[in-house]
Amino acid sequence: MPTRRVITGRSQEPRKRFAEELRSLRTASGESLRDLGKVVGWDPSLFGKLESGATLGSPEVAEALDQHYGTPGLLLALWELAVGDPTQFKEQYRRYMLLEGEAVCLWHYGVSILPGLLQTDGYAREVLSLGGYRGEELQQQVEARTGRRKLLEGDNAPPFRALLAEAVLRTPLRDPGEWRAQLEHLLEVSERPDIAVQVLPQGSGLYGLVSTAVMFLRLLDGTTVAYTENAHRGELIEENSSVELLQRKYDAMRDVALTLGESRKFILRTLEEAPCES
């Protein structure tokens, strides 16, 4: 099949296309970044970062710009494509990200940190900075990770269960305010009907996944895959017997975890005990 000819000459990468469209619309209007900031109500530096691709901003910004330029829904749609673009992630993670977006059910065990689907921006920024990200690259990776939260929003969101080792909730962020914000977010999502959060107490003893964080994905064809991860690498596991072994270990841990109600109380106590300032 012949390669499709590019008609517009604009980027086929969602993030770059979003930035190009913003720059093109502003240039065509004859506005400076300062003018745009005055009219729309955000700092001009934000629009400069949007047009350079350094940040994607928020859906509220995209909607405001759609209204300003008279392009109802266009920029918001491009923003959504950019947020969900798997090429934002390192190549070794992209297949997993595609499968995550197609999953009809997800369940996770966190051995030391929260799953990306439940992380706030502040939490993701600290975790990713430990991996060596800095500057614009750090901001892009934060947006890529926290953009995954949209998967759990809306009427068609897949069911998600998070099983958290107590150590996850006993390891605060350096910034007390960001840590409290993360705990508050965790409490909020735990009350959603399709999200279950359970805490595995320290006193439960040793268990099968003692050093392994894992995410299970139930796919449209009924198969289940697993993704295991540590601080240095991740591995997508698709072989049935290996996935089943991991699931049995997960189920055994869930059996000794706190109930949903007890887990919410545990998170609430952790929030109440968390310092308000350094």
pLDDT of 5 reads: 44
pLDDT of 7 reads: 47
pLDDT of 2 reads: 47
pTM: 0.71
**Cα(116)–Cα(127) distance, rounded to whole angstroms?**
10
Indicate the burial class of 26 (C-beta count within 10 angstroms; 0-12, 13-18, 19 or more). buried
CA 250 vs. chain centroid, Å, equals 22
Average pLDDT, the chain: 88
- Count of Cβ atoms closer than 10 Å to residue 226 Cβ: 22
CA geometry: angle 200, 211, 191, nearest 5 deg:
30
Q: 74-93 burial by CB neighbour count: b if 16+ within 10 A, else e? A: ebbebbbebbbbbebbeeeb
Q: Residue 274: pLDDT band by 50, 70, 90 thresholds?
A: very high
pLDDT digits (tens, 9 = 90+) for 203-260: 888 888 888 899 999 998 899 999 998 767 789 999 999 999 999 999 999 999 999 9
Give Cα separations from 71 to 67, 140, 205 (angstroms): 7, 25, 57
- For 273, how many CA atoms within 13 A lie in the half-sphere containing its CB? 10
pLDDT digits (tens, 9 = 90+) for 50-102: 888 777 777 888 899 999 999 988 898 888 877 767 666 555 567 888 889 88
Report percent pLDDT > 90 for the chain.
Answer: 49
